[in-house]
Amino acid sequence: MTDTVDGAPGAPLEKVALEIYVPPAKPSLIGLSRAEIAERLGGIGVAPAQRRMRTQQLWHWIYVRGARTFDEMTSISKEMRSQLDQHFTVTRPEVVAEQISNDGTRKWLLRLPSGDAVEKAHEIECVYIPETDRGTLCVSSQVGCTLNCAFCHTGTQRLVRNLTAGEIVGQIMVARDRLNDWVDRETPTGSRLVTNVVMMGMGEPLYNFEAVRDALLIVSDNEGVGISRRRITLSTSGVVPNIVRTGDEIGVMLAISLHAVRDGLRNELVPLNRKYPIAELLQACRDYPGSSNARRITFEYVMLKDVNDSLDDARLLVKLLKGIPAKINLIPFNPWPGTRYECSDWDQIEKFSEYIFNAGYSSPVRTPRGRDILAACGQLKSETEKLSARERQALRAMAMTD
């Protein structure tokens, strides 16, 4: 799809999804709200008086205990388990491949179940980043991406389709499965391993708003997955109409992929800027419900050599963010095969960070993680799209030199 602004032709702003979701014959209960589970139970003949109790039992077994089959749900009668198994599953995405970086980062290639017998099953990527005080899971919202950000590897993919709420929640459940991180199991640290969730994987979350909302409400439910909304961050490239909705309807932390301080450059780096320019985007941030010094908005800024990393850029960034409770994440650019951009020199990143810090903003430089398995920021790209021989050669060279 090629969009235009003020009647002038431009580079594509947004892609059109190639497919819609086709559910399997036996749908999974993962991703359904309590009300939806009760409705499904009514559809298979469960009496109204029993639906609330059965719903609570299922909710507990699925989201607290991580049950992978109905047979594991021993507090439910055998007859009811058999009936559930005839109509539903608790299936998550299938792990096709797991890569573990030398820094401990894990990347999973996940295959999505589908009821479409013609199209092959699609694949997405999900990344777990362990740190000393937390474990962050980077979750995808689309197969491919709606947008065409110039520096982003994921943005070079087609947009195949949006993920369902169940496919989004399913990524978190897969991570807990692989890490043995359910509440009734011991972990090596004695505490939970997946403590934080960031919607920063494949896709633009706010172009899949309803599914992302429904998934994150399940993830933050304190009787289920139980990850606090303060530990969930949704990152957007600036889909302005849905930013305030995110605060009102989801209530999670917000991150903005800013990356430039002038509309001309941001039009190139983040073409969506031609639809929602910087001033409009920042006004939506000022209006974001619940933002405060305790709940700051994170502005992500990828450091591109001789593109957006001058001290003049740093000065304008500080000026633009005046009045917004904010912190600024500086992200060293992670190269990928075929990109024309380079990472800023480290001393320039430090000068940029120091200027912002002295202006009163937290300005951490995000430590690159998982580069050797292409799991770092901006590098996710599903194996659904096969790499060319040239790309594979470039990846091998990168692995040897990085």
Burial state string for 209-226 with b = 16 or more CB within 10 A and e = fewer than 16: bebbbbbbbbbbeeebbe
Q: What is the 3-state secondary structure (H, E, C) of 165-231?
A: HHHHHHHHHHHHHHHCCCCCCCCCCCCCCCCEEEECCCCCHHHCHHHHHHHHHHHCCCCCCCCCHHH
- The residue with tokens 């003949």 is 45
Task: Please pick, among 126, 138, 145, 377, the residue that the annotation labels catalytic.
Answer: 377
Check: CB of residue 35 under 8 Å from CB of residue 51: no
Nearest by Cα to 388 from 321, 330, 315, 337: 337
Taking the CA of residue 245 as centre, how many other CA atoms within 13 Å lie in the half-sphere pointing to its CB?
A: 15
CA angle 195-198-201, nearest 5°? 130
Active site residue 36: no
- Number of neighbouring beta carbons within 10 Å of residue 76: 18
* Bridge partners of residue 298, in order along the sequence: 255, 327
Task: Please pick, among 125, 167, 204, 300, the residue that the annotation labels catalytic.
Answer: 125
Length of the chain: 402
Nearest by Cα to 350 from 314, 321, 378: 314
Catalytic site residues?
A: 125, 377
